[in-house]
Structure formats: structure tokens, C-alpha cells
Chain A
């Protein structure tokens, strides 16, 4: 069974540029999560979906961040006008209902 797939693995931006991260969860998993993991810190929850519905996006840092999951399968996390403070690894995870989370390898963002 394929795991959670994320792309790109790495992105390097200048401040003010935009970037999108894509996530393909495990087939059949209804719940999808995006976490931000700054260097040497734990994953911090940004947003999560059940099917196509946003359950909680209150932890998205600002209106520069947005996330969608239009068909309840793949998801995109977008950062508009990136700042140096956005430098982190962005992790996607999926789960079937209230089961364990399965993580992708992450997308490592560096904002210069």
C-alpha cells in the first residue's frame, strides 16, 4: 500500500514569493492534517480536514496561509508572500477516522 506522498521535497524562496505544497494521502483515509515543524521543534497543527470539509483551521498562522482539499482526497497548502519565519518542514498526515496518523516525508521550506 502506498504511503502519504508529498511534493516538492524542498523549496527555497525569497521573501515575498509564494509556494504550494501538495499531499496525496493514503487511499481511503478520510482525515488529512497539515503540520508545520520548525527546525528542532515538534509538529504544530495548522489545519485538518474530514473529507473535503475543513474541521479546524484556527491555527493557520495568518491569511497568508490557505489549505484546500476539494474532492476529499489530495490537498494543497499554499503560502502567499512567504516570510523568513515560515522556514520549516511542512508535514502532511492522514488517518482513517480516529486511528493513528501516517505522515509523509515532509516538504522542507527555506525562505531567504
Chain B
């Protein structure tokens, strides 16, 4: 069935380190892929989204590239800051059912000052 896999439950970095969060997906058709960020006590909010039309998305220094060959959608940032500490979710709007959106388990990012 359709799925979104995030293997890293927690990532701890120091300020100015490089961030890489892994995400892979499984579906038929052409999904729209998202990264959402959730701060404590709030609902998730969109960080960036990518469709097959544009392949790459970026926002606030974060970047993700849609690789159909490896079915991956990894999140990267060159230099993290303490304010980036949050939970990051990879999500997918399915290719065959555009209304259904499913989420990965999330990666908790801690950035040390």
C-alpha cells in the first residue's frame, strides 16, 4: 500500500551543521510531496512542497528534491540554527487519490547552541 518512511526518529546537531533527513515513499501514479514542520503545542505547518512538474522545492534555507527513480524526497539545509529545532514530517498526497494525504513518523531535530 501507499506509505511514507522516515527512518530517523531523532537528529541532534550543533549550530551551522549540515542537515539531512531521509524520506522515501511508495505509491502509484505521480504524488505531490511535502515537508511539514511542527513546533511544540502547534499543528504542523507547510515548509515546502514539490510536484513532478518542478522536482525541487525550497523555503527558509531548506531544500528537497523529488527523485522518482529512488522514490526519495530528502530534506537538506546547509547550516542549521537553534530556531530550526522542531519535528519534521515528510508527507505525500497520493498519485491516484489527490485528496488523501499521509504522513511519515517524523524526525525530531535538536540543534544545540
By a beta-carbon cutoff of 8 Å, the part of chain A in contact with chain B is 4, 31, 33, 35, 40-45, 48, 50, 55-56, 91, 93, 98, 100-106
Contacts and interface: CB of A to CB of B under 8 A. Distances in A.
Interface string B74-113: 0000000000000001010100011111111110100000
Q: Give the interface residue-count category, chain B.
A: 20 to 34
Closest 9 pairs (CB-CB, A-B): A103-B43, A42-B103, A98-B98, A42-B105, A42-B106, A100-B46, A43-B103, A103-B44, A105-B43
A30 to B, nearest CB: 10
Interface of B: 6, 32, 34, 36, 41-46, 49, 89, 91, 93, 97-106, 108
13 contacts: A4-B43, A33-B101, A42-B6, A42-B103, A42-B106, A43-B89, A44-B103, A45-B100, A48-B99, A56-B100, A98-B93, A98-B98, A104-B43
Contacts of A91: 43-44
Secondary structure type dominating chain A contacts: strand
Contacts, number: 55
B48 to A, nearest CB: 10
